[in-house]
Amino acid sequence: MIKIGISACFLYPDKERLVFGPKTLTYIENDMACYVTKKGVLPILIPDVEEELLYDILSEMDGFVFQGGNDLAPETYGEKPLGKWKGDAYRDQYELKILDYAIQNSRPVLGVCRGLQLMNVYFGGTLYQDTVTQNPKAMEHRSAQLYDTIKHPIVWIKDTFLAQRYGNTKDSYVNTVHHQAVKDLGDHLEVYATAPDGIIEAFGYTKEPDGKVMAVQWHPEFFHTLNGELIDAHLLYDAFLEHVKDEQ
């Protein structure tokens, strides 16, 4: 089976939590688990363990998916926090080790939402810590109440990898559930798509074949919430899996 390593989300010790209150939990959101799981594909949640053991696990993976979750910590990309937006520095370092392994060993990578932001920072880019206040031209990209029931059009960049996959899709829409966004684009990254306000919605790493290392700002795993109103989420994942199979 194809083994896809998925970076973990974290819940830290919380005495108010009734179950495992004093413990750190690592988890995968279930829509993501369902999205990644296909016939012949084994999703594996990557544990937070000491590096010697971690790299043994990573060496068994055929590709990597970086899921959504908390903001990146501003310190991770060389900035001081603005107000309450502290991010998750611990998760940043855990995921950056995994991403560095994937890049250094030429493994296929798909980043989703936070995963796109992580990849941008890894390649030297920066983020809007709070998109609403730092980019007044930005449209609404996140609603805590409406969550994955809001959408916006997607603008494909002509002749890029995802434009070739989705370019004939009329009235293309994606969901939008992100608080941070790309400010300065990282090195060797090619923009695949933007929102109508110019916010970067997808990119690929130019030192690998098109689409082998790529990321999207939307949540393809949440497509079923607005089923029939959004682009086909399976086209994206199938394109990623094609690269995984090519590497075997």
Which residues are catalytic, by number?
113, 219, 221
CA-based max dimension of the chain: 52
Expressed in angstroms, the distance from the first to the final Cα of the chain is: 11
DSSP H or E stretch at residue 66: strand 63-66
State the Cα–Cα distance between residues 169 and 42, nearest whole angstrom: 30
Q: 3-state DSSP call for residue 240?
A: helix
The CA radius of gyration of the chain, in Å to the nearest whole number, is 17
Q: 3-state DSSP call for residue 243?
A: helix
Q: Contact at 8 Å (CB) between 141 and 200?
A: no
DSSP conformational letter for 16: T
